[in-house]
Amino acid sequence: MSAQSTQPHDSTPLLATVSSIMDFPAPGVASPGDYASLMQQLDRLCPLQQFAMLGLANAGLHWVYAHQLADDFKQQLGREEPRLTEQLTQLDEQQGWCVQPVEHGEVQWLLARSTPEHLPTLRLLLECLAKRLHETQTGAQLAGQASPLMQRDPHWQQKIEKISRIMRLAHSLPQHALFSQLEAVLRQMLAVRDMLLVRLDSQRLEPLYPTQLSYDDNAIRALCHSTNSVERQEAGLHWYSLPLRQQQQYFAHLLISTVQPLETDDRLFLDFLRHQLTLLLELKRVRQQLDEINSEESINQRLQQMRQTNLRLQKQLKQHQELERRLQFNALHDPLTQLPNRALLMNHLHHAMTRYRRYQNFGFTLIFIDVDHFKQVNDALGHGAGDQLLQELSKRLQGCIRQNDMVARLGGDEFVIYLDNSQQEEDVSPVLNRLVSRVSHPFRLQGNELAITVSLGVASVSEQTADISELLHQADLAMYQAKRNGRSRIVSYSEDCTGHAGSPEELLTKALREGKIVPYFQPVIRLEDSCLTGLEVMARWITEEGELKDAFDFIPLAEQCGLIQELDRHILRRTCQQLKLWLPVSGPSRFKIAINLSGKHLACREQIMQLVSIIEEERVLPSYFIFEFNERELSRQSIDSLTSLHELRAKGIQISLDDFGTGFSSLNALFHFPVDYIKVDDSFTHRMLNSPKDLALIRAMRDICHDLDFTLVVEGIENQQQLQKLIELGCAIGQGRHISPPLPGADITPLLGQADTA
């Protein structure tokens, strides 16, 4: 005897493969032949390099099935769930990896690798396989009603009731006795000669009833098909073979033989019987699972799993608490020197001012410190040496103060020292002497010995001091007076500092009026092929002495004296004028121009419309521009700033969140503000090669921006090692001095031919 098999006739190889996948059995019963067939089907459409089904048991990672996976690769995935999940999500799709989770059951992950061009097809097939595994692992719905066509003949109702009575005995009769009763009824109803129940796999045939078969195994196999019913006439007998399956879950085969062929109603009844037997076997499987679940061993096992889960949750809670503490620290401290930042200093000063006004006997003094010729250090030795100098200087400054004093870094090379309960010269002089002495010792930077000097401005609180900002401004003015007096000086604030014809505010105002503050442009490239994608505008001040000052040398001054918004509008207009000069020679190039703006523009609609009006007056398209706002400053704006941001985007101007990662509510900002670009603060780039945490943050931001459809820009690329690491991480866009320093507009023109034309 041999069985006729039917193959699905699908219109495409893809549909045929999907159809085959949806017949894949549960992992617990799948045979080597099933896995081999699955590999063959997948490999036909997506040439497979590796494939695996992974689960997690009590002992850790469990390889349900693995195909061509190296042992060292298995070991590096780890055995605990958090480690495994992290490693799987880091597998690179550019190398053809595809990872698919599976809900519930023994298999929890599908892992496969093909060529990158086959990745979409592989992902589709793995999704189908995941659904199929979920279906087989969560059990099947129970079904089985008699065909309504059989109700046309009343005597069939009696036959159905007989079968139902036997099935109701399933809980009390032994299985063999139950099947004997069923066989007796079938002999009476359908003149059945033989009734067989067998279970098949690729290795053997297992008789369920009767336990000893009078037929050859090969003859029985020839009658059985895995999914379809078979009818055949052999040796004068009519054989009917029905696979017992429920939602693709295979239980057994029912075979009966009769002398005469069955009529239509007999066939319908036989199909009803198949449903009832399937229901019986399914209930038996569920009951067995419940017994296993309620066993003492299983309960103890689940308790152990709960304990392990509880330990993991406690560990995760500690990690979250540590992360929260770290975020709070980062929000109030400078990432380079770990000193208090401007926000923490101002908060401390407000408390000090409140105490002074209340008691009048707790005066304090501010010392404003600026490194002389710091830009020359960066230009000669690089930004790495400049950062090292600032770190070492911060340590020396901390060694000069007392317990209740504070050293803060405002930005760039500017520091402020708060001297508590120090208002008289005899209180301040010892600290100043220590500062001068400590700073006078040479610094060792990257094998070089360097001597530096600092300019110091001193201002003490008095009854005439209006507020903290005024006192800080006075210390700043005194420091600028020290620089004008020849640098490496200490100047205490007096009216002479403000009355000088060349005060910092006057010099800045004059520079704006005379157009001495100009835009420079730093290229932003696509890292994988160095294609120019945009430019970031950076303001530069050309002093009367011909010195080119970086933005961090005068932006804080512009903010303090209320010139920052006028400076922003001036730079935007000059940028528009430069853009008009580029457009005739840029050809089909597509590039964006990012300009960093103060968050104060967002305070009201009139301020925003002034920026838009400048673009319209200069007759350039708003779609060329990206407006960048600092994350920390943006988070301090009112709810009206959201309306302003939406209005800018409606005009075609895109929004970038600058210095991401330095604020306290970074992740909230991604959902709160309508932004298009995320710029990771350069401090993370500088530390990533030596700090796994900083590297992890950049990797996490890459994934978050990909999932939320933001464009990630990494700034501060200072060397080839950083560039190569970012390319390996899959970061798309970046900028930094290693790629190009900021350049005047005329030097950008030759680069526009390298811009993206897509």
| Least confident window among 211-220, 499-508, 739-748 | 499-508
Q: Looking at the predicted structure, is the pLDDT value of residue 380 above 80?
A: no
Structure tokens of 750?
Answer: 């030759």
Query: Regarding the domain with residue range 336-500, which homologous superfamily does it belong to in the CATH classification?
Result: Reverse transcriptase/Diguanylate cyclase domain (3.30.70.270)
The whole-number average pLDDT for the span 109-136 is 85
Q: Which residues of 111-148 are buried (b: 16+ CB within 10 A; e: fewer)?
A: bbbbeeebbebbbbbbebbbebbebbbebbeeebebee
Q: Does domain 13-137 have CATH number 3.30.450?
A: yes
Torsion sign over Cα 627, 631, 636, 638: positive
Which helix (H) or strand (E) segment holds residue 559: the answer is: helix 555-560
Lowest mean per-residue pLDDT among 41-50, 74-83, 372-381: 74-83
What's the pLDDT at 384? 84
The residue that leads in pLDDT, 486 or 78, is: 486
**Amino acid at position 726, single letter:** L
Distance CA 309, CA 303 (A): 10
More confident of the two residues 647 and 281: 647
Comparing CA positions, the residue from 383, 363, 366 lying closest to residue 375 is 383
CB-based contact 238:266 (threshold 8 Å): no
pLDDT at 145 over 60: no
Question: Which is higher by pLDDT, 588 or 70?
Answer: 70
Which residues, in sequence order, are CB contacts of 727 under 8 Å at separation 6+? 527, 528
CA 656 to mean position of chain CA atoms: 18
Which residue do the tokens 């098909």 mark? 225
Nearest to 406 by CA among 461, 359, 355, 347: 347
- Separation CA 534–CA 524 (nearest Å): 5
CA dist list (Å): 111 to 53, 55, 516: 6, 11, 60
Least confident of 7-21, 110-124, 697-711: 7-21
Q: What is the distance between the alpha carbons of residues 241 and 3, in angstroms, rounded to a whole number?
A: 10
Region 661-674 average pLDDT: 66
Dihedral angle sign, alpha carbons of residues 629, 569, 514, 743: positive
Q: Which residue type sits at 536?
A: E
pLDDT at 10 over 50: no
Kindly state the DSSP code that residue 214 receives in the 8-state scheme: S
CATH of domain 514-754: 3.20.20.450
| Whether pLDDT at 4 is above 70 | no
Range of 71-85, 513-527, 627-641 with top mean pLDDT: 513-527
How much is the pLDDT for 245? 83
DSSP letter at 142 equals -
pLDDT recorded at residue 712 = 94
As a whole number, the mean pLDDT across the chain is 84
Q: Which of 241, 244, 225 is closest to 233 using CA atoms? A: 241
R_g over Cα of the chain: 39
> What would the DSSP string read from start to end of 613-678?
HHHHHTT--GGGEEEEEEHHHHHTS-THHHHHHHHHHHTT-EEEEEEETSSSSHHHHHHHS--SEE
Q: Give percent of the chain above pLDDT 70.
A: 88
- CATH fold of 148-293 reads Beta-Lactamase (3.30.450)
Choose among 69, 79, 78: nearest CA to 113: 69
Q: Which two tokens stand for residue 658?
A: 């600058």
User: pLDDT: is 718 or 56 the higher one?
Assistant: 718
pLDDT at 406: 94
Which residue intervals of 105-239 are DSSP H helices? 119-137, 155-168, 175-190, 217-223
User: Cα separations (Å) of 399 from 329, 403, 406, 439, 459?
Assistant: 21, 10, 11, 11, 21
More confident residue, 601 or 280: 601
Q: Which two tokens stand for residue 59?
A: 């002992």
Q: How confident is the model at residue 284 (pLDDT cuts 50, 70, 90)?
A: confident
On the 0-12 / 13-18 / 19+ scale of CB atoms within 10 A, 531 is middle
Average pLDDT over residues 41-47: 89
Q: Assign 446 a pLDDT band (cuts: 50, 70, 90).
A: confident
518 three-state secondary structure: strand
What does the pLDDT average to over 409-429? 88
Between these two residues, 619 and 423, which has the higher pLDDT value? 619
Q: What pLDDT, in 10s, does the model give residues 206-260?
A: 898 898 888 888 888 888 887 888 899 888 899 999 998 876 678 899 999 999 9
What's the mean pLDDT in 435-449?
87
* pLDDT above 50 for 2: no
pLDDT above 60 (res 182): yes
Give the pLDDT mean for 444-466: 87
The amino acid at residue 258 is T
pLDDT class for 328, splitting at 50, 70, 90? confident
Contact between 624 and 572 under an 8 Å Cβ cutoff? The reply is no
Q: Is the pLDDT of residue 574 over 90?
A: yes
Give the model's pLDDT for residue 169.
62
| Contact residues for 623 (Cβ-Cβ < 8 A; gap 6+) | 652, 653
Least confident of 13-22, 308-317, 337-346: 13-22
User: Does residue 168 carry a pLDDT above 70?
Assistant: no
Question: What is the 3 state secondary structure string of 437-450?
Answer: HHHHCCEEECCEEE
Question: Terminal CA-to-CA distance of the chain, rounded, Å?
Answer: 66
Residue 395: the pLDDT is 93
Which pLDDT does position 17 carry in this prediction?
Answer: 75
**568 has a pLDDT exceeding 80:** yes
pLDDT for res 79: 63
514-754 has the same fold as 336-500: no
pLDDT at 141 over 50: no
As a whole number of angstroms, the distance between CA 446 and CA 30 comes to 63
Q: What is the pLDDT of residues 346-361, one digit of tens each?
A: 999 999 999 888 887 7
Most confident of 220-224, 326-330, 455-459: 455-459
CB count in 10 Å sphere of residue 30: 19
Residue 6 has pLDDT above 50, yes or no: no
Phi, psi of 457 (to 5 degrees): -115, 130
pLDDT at residue 579 greater than cutoff 60: yes
DSSP code, position 528: T
Question: How many CB atoms neighbour CB 327 within 10 A?
Answer: 16
Domain ranges of the chain: 13-137, 148-293, 336-500, 514-754
The phi and psi torsions of 114 (rounded to 5 degrees) equal -135, -165
Minimal CA–CA distance to 518: which of 572, 580, 565, 464?
572
Determine how many CB atoms are found less than 10 A away from the CB of residue 454.
Answer: 23
Beta carbons of 238 and 257 less than 8 angstroms apart: yes
DSSP class of 599: G
Long-range contact pairs involving 346-351 (C-beta distance under 8 Å, separation at least 24): 346/468, 348/406, 348/418, 349/418, 349/468, 349/471, 349/472, 350/468
Phi/psi at 339 (5° precision): -80, 160
The helices-and-strands tally (H runs, E runs) of the chain is: 27, 25
pLDDT at 400 over 70: yes
Q: Residue 172 pLDDT more than 80? A: no
**pTM score, whole prediction:** 0.43
C-alpha to C-alpha distance for 62 and 315, rounded to whole angstroms: 23
Instruction: Supply the DSSP string of 272-292, one letter for each residue.
Output: HHHHHHHHHHHHHHHHHHHHH
